[in-house]
Amino acid sequence: MIEVKDDWCKGCNICIERCPVNALEESDRLNKKGIRPPQLKKNNECNDCRLCELLCPDLAISVISDKEVKKEDKKILLRPVGGTIK
């Protein structure tokens, strides 16, 4: 997942150009300068390499690893049969 500060983006498109897996594209929304900030493509191919974050001249992009986004823990309903051996 990437987060873009829309109003800091100047539209140089270096993130789109330099992405090694070609996962970014221009979005449909406009910021207050009339520039289209980047967004992830629909089929998300981002591998969290953070190159766009490090290369952005305006420090506008943050890459947040999907692994860090908290998923709901599944509760185990079943208990192991046979008891515990001590």
Partner 1 sequence: MVEIKTAEELNKKYLREGMWPTIFCNGCGIGVVLEYTLWAIEELGWDMDKVVFASGIGCSSRLPGYINADGLHTTHGRAIAFATGIKAANPDLNVVIFTGDGDCSGIGGNHFIHAARRNIDLTVIMVNNFVYGMTGGQSSPTAPIGSVATTAPYGNIEHPFDICGIAKALGANYVARWPVSHPYQPIKSVKEGLQKKGFSLLEFLAPCPTAYGRRNKLGDIKKLWKWYDDNTILIEDYEKTMNYGNEKEKEEIKNKIQIGVFQDIEKSGFFEEYEKLMMMLQEKKTTGEKK
Q: How many residues bind partner 1 (CB under 8 A)?
A: 24
Alpha carbons 81 and 71: distance in angstroms, whole number:
28
**H or E element, residue 26:** strand 24-26
- CB of 36 vs partner 1, minimal distance in Å: 13
Smallest separation, CB 66 to partner 1 (Å): 13
Q: Does 64 contact partner 1 by CB under 8 A?
A: yes
CA 20 – CA 39 distance, rounded (Å): 15
Does residue number 51 form part of the binding site for partner 1 (CB under 8 A)? yes
Give the Cα separation of 51 and 70 in Å (integer): 23
- Interacting residue ranges for partner 1, rule: CB under 8 A: 3, 5, 7-8, 10-14, 17-18, 51, 53-64
